[in-house]
Amino acid sequence: MFVWSPASVTAGSLGSLPVLLAFATEPLAHLRALDIAVIVIYFAMVLWIGFYLKGVSNTGEDFFLAGREMTAWIAGLSFVSANLGSLELMGWAGAAYQYGILATHWYWVGAIPAMLFLGLMMMPFYYVSKTHSVPGYLKLRFGEHARVLAALSFATEMILMSGVNMFAMAVVMKVVLGWNITFSIFVSSIAVALYVGLGGLRSAIFNEVLQFVLIWGGALLVPILGLVQSGGWTGLETKILANLHSTSYFHLWRDTGHFASNPMGVHWTGILFGLGFVISFGYWTTDFLVVQRVLAAHNLRAARMAPIIGSFFKMAVPFIVILPGLLGLVLLQNPDGTRRVLVGEEVVSACAVNTAQEKLDNPAACSAAMSTSRLSPAYRQRVLEAQPAADLHSYNEALPLMMVRYLGPGLLGLGITALIAGFMSGMAGNVSAFSTVWTYDLYRPLIYKRGSDSHYVLVGRLSIMSGVAVSIGAAYLVMHALGIMDYVQALFSIFIAPLLGVILFGMFWKRATALAGFLGLLIGIVFSASLFVWVKLHPAALALVAISPDAKPMAENVYRALWAFLLTSIVVVVVSLLTRPKPAAELDGLVYGATVLPQEEPVPFYKQEWMWAGVAVALFVALNLMFW
Amino acid sequence: MHGSRISIWFFIGVLLAVYGVMIAASGVSEWVTGNYARGVQLVRLHMPVWWGALLGLLGLLYGVKFRPRKSRGGNTQNDAATTARPMRRSLDNG
């Protein structure tokens, strides 16, 4: 269902979305005039913001770094919001329906330690080095080759991901609202191209903060009303135990001692080291899409505080994502009042109905697919008879179904607006990060070095327009060749582990050399991609990659990332020891131990980043113990 | 958000205030007429009224607190954001 990744895509539900599209019949929700008005006002607002900010985005620093004037709160909200897309909301609500509270790992151990590490340990070097991007830092630390390799892979990933986001949004709008695919793609792309093209990163950040508020305003009511109806947390536990006869839904760690003892097929070592270290640190500390938001902070203290502030909000997100999924397990109902059971996409597709003949295309395949689901025998029979009221919905529809259940006119429009805002800010994040990397890490060093500041701003604006155009092409490409989607999503998990290895050694080991950085990155990427292709061509190889015959596909990304990180680390260490390091003087501002950080004005203890990081750690530990 | 600009919180305040009024008005209309949307649960709690009022109130607070103001120089300024100007730095690195 989803890839083991904390990416904004959650990359998760993406692969299964086309199935939803192919078998969607009736839209899940019907909007009224008030709901449409809420959506139209949102579009008017983002365009207003874009046109307003055009007047203050004329220099390179304004356009690409939002003038480096964001407060810690704005940068922190934008930082966490860049990872709170609609697919993440829907995908993880579906995961919670399927696996219970285990899905929360992606919000807690898969994010919080890395966010705090970024703020406390890494941000000083990103910020003091005065770089404008992560590839830019690689150039300063390891030279031009490492920069170009990282920039090329990142730019390609961003533009393709933007297209996938666009397609995913169109599919969700088609499934939930019945909107035409092309209409959704073009309206969202024109809006994104306008507001990011006009206001640059500042506009993207503004809209991410706006999206964050809308998501909470639009989605918070669902778990609140769900808890009211289920009789509170205790009532929810009782109902789940009565219906599903399992306590695994409420435990984060207890059942992860063996791959086979939990429904995800994961082991605690994979969660802790694979997700909690390599993938999480790789994403939160080296992915320029999120780091760019923090680089826009107005001083070093704000840059360090931003991820720490973001960590508190990240810890709260399961309340609006995981809880609705759990509530859906016992509260969703069929039209006849019985408990609705959601199923995997493979069941939905196997039970496709031939609408002309009003019977199933392939009853045998449908029956076989349903045998692995939790559907009752009586309901299976009704599905096989293609009764109109016996429709099937997938796990990914858990959140929209809960929204339709509790949100009336206006509130439903707000919830849908939150989903649209999530998609659009995801696209905006992709194209704004692409524009910066393209302009400063590819165009300027490789194509035209002597341009003026206004020239590069123009190039940035044009790259946003062309980036959106290429994304539209990518969206249609994905639509017509669905297998591409798997590869696009895999790009993220293939690149981050090697990048993490190179940046950690670069930032914390003075001895690491330029050649070691470049070779570590290159060999790590090639190795990671080879493992991916190997498992694609020979699925049995999964047992070797994930070192267990019980491992499920979800474990693959974790272990692939671990091996790629280890190999990258070995290459960096060995090559560094065989080559001549840079003089310490050239490492000032780039490496721990060779940098004198600027003195900051003393502040009261309640404004200090270390104090708040300590509070975040205490809360993080308490939450994990509470749901052990 | 710093500097002589309209704060993001002002935009958010305006949007929440408009949404709050629309949703609360719709909720009041449902309450008065008893004409509730079909299939929606817990309608007797009148959540659109309370949620709309909450959004509207928050929007009003933010809209007023972060409203654009004319500074002495004639620029539009935002009160809570008018701390120091940003530290300007060169993009020529990296």
Compute the half-sphere exposure of residue A478: CA atoms within 13 Å on the CB side of its CA: 33
Q: What is the average per-residue pLDDT within A456-464? A: 92
Question: Does B84 sit within 8 Å of A65, measured CB to CB?
Answer: no
Of A136-150, A418-432, A505-519, B18-32, the one with minimum mean pLDDT is A418-432
Whole-number Å distance between alpha carbons of A70 and A237: 43
Of A151-165, A203-217, A435-449, B55-69, the one with minimum mean pLDDT is A151-165
Whole-number Å distance between alpha carbons of B3 and B14: 20
Q: Bridge-partner residues for B77, per DSSP?
A: B69
How do residues B30-89 score in pLDDT, each as one tens digit? 999 988 888 888 888 999 999 999 999 999 999 999 998 766 555 554 433 333 333 333
Q: Decide if A414 touches B, using CB distance below 8 A.
A: yes
Q: What is the average per-residue pLDDT within A475-483? A: 73
Whole-number Å distance between alpha carbons of A37 and A161: 30
For chain A, first and last CA: distance in Å? 25
Which amino acid type is present at position A514? A
Buried b (16+ CB within 10 A) or exposed e, A217-248: bbbebbbbbbbebbeeeeebbebbeeeeeeeb
Q: Bridge-partner residues for B78, per DSSP?
A: B68
How do residues A385-402 score in pLDDT, each as one tens digit? 877 777 888 887 888 889
Min distance A407 CA to chain B CA atoms (Å): 7
Tell me the chain B residues in contact with residue A410 when contact means C-beta distances shorter than 8 Å: 19, 22-23, 26-27, 48, 52
Give the confidence band of A488 by pLDDT, cuts at 50, 70, 90.
Answer: low
Question: Does B41 sit within 8 Å of A405, measured CB to CB?
Answer: yes
From the list A81, A485, A61, the residue with the least C-alpha distance to A295 is: A61
Q: Decide if A74 touches B, using CB distance below 8 A.
A: yes
Please say if the pLDDT value at position A23 is more than 70.
no
Please say if the pLDDT value at position A25 is more than 80.
no
Q: What is the residue whose two structure tokens read 């113990």?
A: A625
Q: What is the average per-residue pLDDT within A216-238? A: 92
Contact A429, A82 (CB under 8 A): yes
From the list B1, B12, B65, B4, the residue with the least C-alpha distance to A75 is: B1
Contact A304, A124 (CB under 8 A): yes
From the list A45, A191, A50, the residue with the least C-alpha distance to B16 is: A45
| Cβ-Cβ contacts under 8 Å for A232 (sequence gap 6 or more) | none
Buried b (16+ CB within 10 A) or exposed e, A13-48: bbbbbbbbbebbeebbbebeebbebbbebbbebbee
- pLDDT on residue A163: 83
Q: Decide if B44 touches A, using CB distance below 8 A.
A: no
Which amino acid type is present at position A2? F
Please say if the pLDDT value at position A258 is more than 60.
yes
The shortest CB-CB distance from B48 to any of A45, A139, A411 is to A411
Q: Is A458 exposed, middle or buried (0-12, 13-18, 19+ CB in 10 A)?
A: middle
Q: Decide if A407 touches B, using CB distance below 8 A.
A: yes
The shortest CB-CB distance from B19 to any of A129, A131, A414 is to A414
Residue A318 Cα distances to A38, A121, A235, A455, angstroms: 26, 26, 19, 44
- pLDDT on residue B91: 40
In this prediction, the answer to ipTM > 0.90 reads: no
The shortest CB-CB distance from A229 to any of B42, B51, B94 is to B42
Pick the residue with more confidence: A257 or B42?
A: B42
What mean pLDDT, rounded, does chain A reach? 85
Pick the residue with more confidence: B93 or A473?
A: A473
- pLDDT on residue A85: 75
From the list A484, A370, A494, the residue with the least C-alpha distance to A15 is: A484
Q: Decide if B31 touches A, using CB distance below 8 A.
A: no
* Strand, coil or helix: A103: helix
- pLDDT on residue A485: 61
Whole-number Å distance between alpha carbons of A45 and A89: 23
Buried b (16+ CB within 10 A) or exposed e, B33-56: eeebbeebbbbeebbbbebbbebb
Q: Decide if A296 touches B, using CB distance below 8 A.
A: no
Tell me the chain B residues in contact with residue A64 when contact means C-beta distances shorter than 8 Å: 91
How do residues A320-329 score in pLDDT, each as one tens digit? 999 999 999 9
**CA-nearest residue of chain A to B4?**
A56
Please say if the pLDDT value at position A512 is more than 80.
yes
The shortest CB-CB distance from A229 to any of B26, B41, B81 is to B41
Tell me the chain A residues in contact with residue B37 when contact means C-beta distances shorter than 8 Å: 32, 408-409
CA A213 to chain CA centroid, nearest Å: 18
From the list B50, B71, B85, B65, the residue with the least C-alpha distance to B10 is: B65
Tell me the chain A residues in contact with residue B90 when contact means C-beta distances shorter than 8 Å: 130
Domain ranges of chain B: 15-35+42-76
Tell me the chain A residues in contact with residue B39 when contact means C-beta distances shorter than 8 Å: 404-405
Please say if the pLDDT value at position A575 is more than 80.
yes
Question: CATH 1.20.1730.10: which residues of chain A?
Answer: 13-332+400-626
Which amino acid type is present at position A460? G
Tell me the chain B residues in contact with residue A425 when contact means C-beta distances shorter than 8 Å: none
Of A74-88, A115-129, A259-273, the one with minimum mean pLDDT is A259-273
Q: What is the average per-residue pLDDT within A189-212? A: 88
Give the confidence band of A489 by pLDDT, cuts at 50, 70, 90.
Answer: low
Which amino acid type is present at position A397? E
Contact A493, A4 (CB under 8 A): yes
Whole-number Å distance between alpha carbons of A75 and A209: 9
Whole-number Å distance between alpha carbons of A182 and A233: 42
Percent residues over pLDDT 90 in chain A: 32
| Cβ-Cβ contacts under 8 Å for A385 (sequence gap 6 or more) | none
Contact A607, A523 (CB under 8 A): no
Contact A127, A33 (CB under 8 A): no
Please say if the pLDDT value at position A159 is more than 60.
yes
Please say if the pLDDT value at position A84 is more than 70.
yes
How do residues A174-184 score in pLDDT, each as one tens digit? 877 888 888 88
Whole-number Å distance between alpha carbons of A191 and A203: 12
Of A3-17, A534-548, A562-576, the one with minimum mean pLDDT is A3-17
CATH topology assigned to domain A13-332+400-626? Sodium/glucose cotransporter (1.20.1730)
From the list A290, A286, A289, A295, the residue with the least C-alpha distance to A565 is: A286
Pick the residue with more confidence: A113 or B91?
A: A113
